[in-house]
Amino acid sequence: MKALVEVIRDPLRFGFGAVVIAVYVFLLLPIAIVVLASLNAGEYLTFPPQGISLRWYGSFFSSQPFMDAFKLSLQVAATSMVCAAALGTSAALYYVRFARGGKEALRFMVLAPLLLPEILTAIALLFFYYQIGLGTRTLVGLQIGHVLITLPFVFLSVCSALYNINPSLEEAARSLGAGSWTVFRRITLPLIKPGVITGAMFAFIISFDLFSISLLLKGIGTTTLPIQLFDYLRWDYDPTAAAVSTVSIVMTLCVVLITDRLVGLRAVRF
């Protein structure tokens, strides 16, 4: 009987492993194709590559419109990361530790940008900006939109971290005479640090790649990297577009590696 169970179990394990491998190949193959296409020595964006060359990376880094868009995306993403981390952590602390009545309403309001289509949020913000006279004259509106979209990711990450720490540690610190700020700085914050860093990481990556929000809320005469890439592909179809995409992929990997160095990928889980 035991031998029969082992015979049945092995094909099941093999089938499950095959499905997992197929899913990973399906997800990673487009990324690999983009990276290989960026090394194409030919004049057009084709696959497989017609030789190997780094000329299109040089074209990207020597292009002033692409460089301006790249710098703006970095600026907006970094600011969104900091603002979303601060606001999301504060909201999570209030929700988990202090909120009583209307707790679920607060959670719904914070998560609403995650539940609604991004284009609807962008249109609503655009109408609101024109009503208050902000319009698209500055980067303030664009920055607010990015923070609004990335805030739920920090909120969820920090809430998960708060639910997984032992409240008795904070109570013990208070019983020994520590004030609220001291308890937060020396007890709570170190314990939820993986959640804060995880949320900030997601905020940076998502903000860097936002398209709909950036398309409708960007300031006049400015553009982010995804929009610049979209405009470029409307008129040109050379491997520069693949080089830009590869740079974005490498940046994402760098953020993941930095997170691994700071808190370890084993700690980055919900």
Minimum mean pLDDT among 40-54, 61-75, 122-136, 246-260: which range? 40-54
Chain mean pLDDT for the chain: 81
C-alpha 131: how far from chain center: 30
Residue 137 pLDDT class (50, 70, 90 cuts): low
Tokens of 87: 């606001």
Q: What is the pLDDT of residue 236?
A: 75
Tokens of 9: 């179990």
Q: Is 52 helix (H, G, I), strand (E, B) or coil?
A: strand
Q: Is the predicted pLDDT of residue 6 greater than 60, yes or no?
A: no
**pLDDT tens-digit profile of 96-120?**
888 777 788 888 888 888 888 888 8
CA dihedral for 163, 166, 172, 175, sign (positive or negative): positive
> What average pLDDT does range 133-141 have in this prediction?
73
Q: What is the pLDDT of residue 113?
A: 87
Angle at the Cα of 11 from the Cα atoms of 8 and 14, rounded to 5 degrees: 145
> What average pLDDT does range 120-147 have in this prediction?
82
What global pTM score does this model have? 0.82
Domains of the chain, each with CATH number or no CATH: 64-262 (1.10.3720.10)
The answer to whether the CB of 125 falls within 8 A of the CB of 148 is yes
- Which is nearest to 151 in space by CA: 73, 97, 102, 213? 213
Q: Is the predicted pLDDT of residue 178 greater than 90, yes or no?
A: no
Q: Is 40 helix (H, G, I), strand (E, B) or coil?
A: strand
**pLDDT tens-digit profile of 40-58?**
777 777 777 777 878 888 8
Q: What is the percent of the chain where pLDDT is above 90?
A: 11
**pLDDT tens-digit profile of 196-247?**
888 888 899 899 988 888 888 887 778 888 888 888 888 777 788 888 888 8
